[in-house]
Amino acid sequence: MPQPMPSLLDTVRRIETPEGIELSLRLAGPVPRALAWVADSLIRYGVLWGLLMVLATLGGGGFGLWLIALFLMEWLYPVLFEVYVDGATPGKKALGLKVVHAGGAPVDWPAALIRNLLRAVDFLPAFYGFGLVAMTGSRDFQRLGDLAAGTVVIHRDPPAKIPPPPPGPALPPPAPLDLVEQRLLLDFAERGSALNPARQAELADLLAGFTGLRGQAGVERLRAHARWLAGEPP
């Protein structure tokens, strides 16, 4: 099966399902995960601060309850959210991240506990030092907790939609194209609108020998060929 994607360079994990197909998981790197952690920390300590204000009015007993809340927030906040709320703490949700098993299934209690208890070591010696080293050393951006639990953090949604290419005439290409070449034209037409016109023309000029046209005319011609390849009426 032709696969024009350079998967060695891509942060994608491919998993094979029992149905015999391959699914792609889009792995999340250290930066969005660190931002999610910051967001979660703000939420956690905000809630704890609010609780302290309320429970302080109850005296010593209230302080005991607050310490229990502190314990739960420190250790079990991420576990409960990851198990019961779609694999994501509020911070992860805000950044479109999600925790799943390396095989693509949702996380369960043991896995969520392992990855979040081992946070204590990933955090060492300061600000996730060990975690970062483990992540850069592992193929799937796994910190120590992820390695032990067999989990990965992925982007929940596919990348943002690019506006569809404008409609227009469809033209058969001047020579037969193999599947990989067809895919190249389809992707150019589909993703070209995310590039500025000068860059589009520059890319189209690479195929000037194929279309016989340069600049904007070349771009239009490649789009017309892509429409024909996709099966639009001429």
Partner 1 sequence: MKQRRFENCHAEEWHAFAARLDRLERRPQPGAPGPLAVAELPAAYRRLCQHLAIARSRCYSDSLQARLNQLALRAHQQFYRPHPRRWQAVLDFLTADFPRRVRADARLFWLCAALLVLPLLGMALAVYRAPELIYSLLSPESVADLETLYAPDRAAPDRAASTDLAMFGYYIRNNIGIGFRTFAGGILLGVGAAFMLVLNGVFIGAISGYLTARGLTETFYAFVAGHGPFELTGIVLAGVAGLKLGWAVVAPGRLDRADALRRAAADGVRLIVGVAALLVLAAFVEAFWSSNRAIPTTIKYAAGTAGWVLVALYLSRAGRRAP
Q: How many Cβ atoms from other residues are within 10 Å of residue 30's Cβ?
A: 15
DSSP string, 178-204: -HHHHHHHHHHHHHGGGS-HHHHHHHH
Binding mask 31-70 for partner 1 (x = CB under 8 A): ---------------------------xxxxxxxxxxx-x
Q: What is the DSSP letter of 20?
A: S
Task: Provide the residue type at 142 as one letter.
Answer: Q
- Decide: helix, strand or coil at residue 148: helix
> Least distance (Å) from partner 1 to the CB of residue 137?
12
- Which 192-231 positions form the footprint of partner 1 (CB under 8 A)? 229-231
By the rule CB under 8 A, 140 interacts with partner 1: no
Q: Which of 99, 135, 147, 152 binds partner 1 (CB under 8 A)?
A: 147
Q: Which of 28, 100, 135, 171 binds partner 1 (CB under 8 A)?
A: 100
218 by Cβ neighbours in 10 Å (0-12 / 13-18 / 19+) ranks as buried
Q: What are phi and psi of 232, to 5 degrees?
A: -80, 150
Contact stretch for partner 1 (CB under 8 A) within 42-50, 144-152, 193-201, 202-210:
144-152
Bond before 125 cis per omega within 30 degrees: yes
Match 């300061």 to its residue by tokens: 126
Q: Which of 6, 159, 163, 234 binds partner 1 (CB under 8 A)?
A: 159
State the residues that interact with partner 1 by CB under 8 A: 1-4, 17, 19-25, 58-68, 70-71, 74-75, 86, 100, 103-106, 108-110, 113-114, 117-121, 144, 147-150, 157-159, 161-162, 179-180, 182-183, 186-187, 189-191, 229-232
